[in-house]
Amino acid sequence: MTSRPPRPESARAAAPAPATAVLGEPGAPRHAVVLAPVMPRWDQGAFFRRTAEPLLASGHRITVHDTLSLLREGDDLKALADRWAGHLASAADAPDVLAGNALGGAVVQALLTHEWTHRARVLLLSGPTVADEELNTKLERIASAVGAQGLSTALRLLEEAVRGPATPAHNGTKSPQPPCPDEGLAGRRLSTGLRLLHDADVRQPVRDFPGPLLHLYGQRSLLVQRKHLATGPGPQHHLVGIPQAGMRPHADQPALTRDAVARFLGAEKS
């Protein structure tokens, strides 16, 4: 008796394929894996391009994943992290650098319980380790606006929360992104993704992580701040605040951010 092959719908539900962009030379000797922040529309890894230079210069190829592309209905942060763990652990080569921005950074920190991550250097860009009531409230205000006031208003609130001090404010009459046919999907990605961070707490995996770890954050951030980040007790864990930067230090101060990443990567040679 032979078993029936699974229906295509079942196969896709069991193993969703991540959305991915690749930067650098495919044959580079080292591999960096990056998990993206919450974004209403996947930007093909563009958010990371200004940070990529030190990694590319040190012989890494970079695989940037849309963190929300493995999300299923009903997931919490742990369920999403577990799914990413299964996908990344089955890859042909373990990452030499494991990086994450915002939600992607929270997922990366949750992954640090897995031994295959312990040979990697971990780079976090405004990736919250713990969400307090203040952060919960700010994230929920933006997420709730999607349904109550529409995606354009939610995007304006998000931009106000993440923009750096040198970034011009929107005047309230214009959406940061123009409407498009996938507006419903974009709104669901934004609201669901932000809510995954509610009450996030991945302090223990970070404290127990034995390898090099760097948190980069904007000193002027109105969303994820220094108090939302944690490190372990060892000398290989570092927190670096980028001056005159908001939630996106890699966008607000790209040169300072690249310098900090280069120093972190070069520390293994000193």
pLDDT value of residue 143 = 98
R_g of the chain computed on alpha carbons: 18
Asked if 214 and 195 count as a contact pair (C-beta separation under 8 A), the reply is: no
Query: Which SS3 state, helix, strand or coil, does residue 231 take?
Result: coil
Is residue 211 assigned to a domain?
yes
Q: Are residues 97 and 123 in the same domain?
A: yes
Task: Give the domain CATH number at 219.
Answer: 3.40.50.1820
Is residue 206 assigned to a domain?
yes
pLDDT value of residue 4 = 39
The strand pair at 30-35 and 20-23 is best described as unpaired
- Tokens 């699974």 — which residue? 6
Is residue 93 assigned to a domain?
yes
**CB within 8 Å of 15: residues ≥ 6 apart:** none
**CB within 8 Å of 42: residues ≥ 6 apart:** 19, 36, 66, 68, 69
Q: Are residues 24 and 102 in the same domain?
A: yes
Q: Are residues 147 and 218 in the same domain?
A: no
Per-residue pLDDT of the chain (270 residues; tens, 9 = 90+): 333 334 434 333 455 689 999 999 988 999 999 999 999 999 999 999 999 999 999 999 999 999 999 999 999 999 999 999 999 998 778 899 999 999 999 999 999 999 999 999 999 999 999 999 999 999 999 999 999 999 999 999 999 999 877 665 543 334 444 455 589 999 999 999 999 999 999 999 999 999 999 999 999 999 999 999 999 988 999 999 999 999 999 999 999 999 999 999 996 543
Is residue 10 assigned to a domain?
no
pLDDT value of residue 61 = 96
Asked if 189 and 219 count as a contact pair (C-beta separation under 8 A), the reply is: no
Is residue 261 assigned to a domain?
yes
Q: Are residues 151 and 123 in the same domain?
A: no
Asked if 35 and 65 count as a contact pair (C-beta separation under 8 A), the reply is: yes
Q: Are residues 182 and 209 in the same domain?
A: no
pLDDT value of residue 172 = 39
Query: Which SS3 state, helix, strand or coil, does residue 69 take?
Result: helix
pLDDT value of residue 79 = 97
Is residue 6 assigned to a domain?
no
Query: What Å distances lie between residue 242 and 15, 39, 125, 259, CA to CA?
Result: 38, 22, 10, 11
Strands (E), 72-201: 97-101, 121-125
pLDDT value of residue 163 = 87
User: Across the strands, what pairs with 22?
Assistant: 63
User: What range defines the domain where residue 160 resides?
Assistant: 134-192
Q: Are residues 211 and 102 in the same domain?
A: yes
- Tokens 């640090």 — which residue? 112
Asked if 254 and 51 count as a contact pair (C-beta separation under 8 A), the reply is: yes
Q: Are residues 65 and 118 in the same domain?
A: yes
Is residue 54 assigned to a domain?
yes
Q: Are residues 124 and 161 in the same domain?
A: no
The total number of structural domains in the chain stands at 2
**CB within 8 Å of 196: residues ≥ 6 apart:** 38, 71, 75, 76, 77, 80, 103, 106
pLDDT value of residue 90 = 84
Q: pTM of the entire structure?
A: 0.89
Rounded CA-CA distance 177/123 in Å is 28
Rounded CA-CA distance 208/202 in Å is 10
Is residue 4 assigned to a domain?
no
Rounded CA-CA distance 199/109 in Å is 14
pLDDT value of residue 167 = 63
- Tokens 């990567």 — which residue? 265
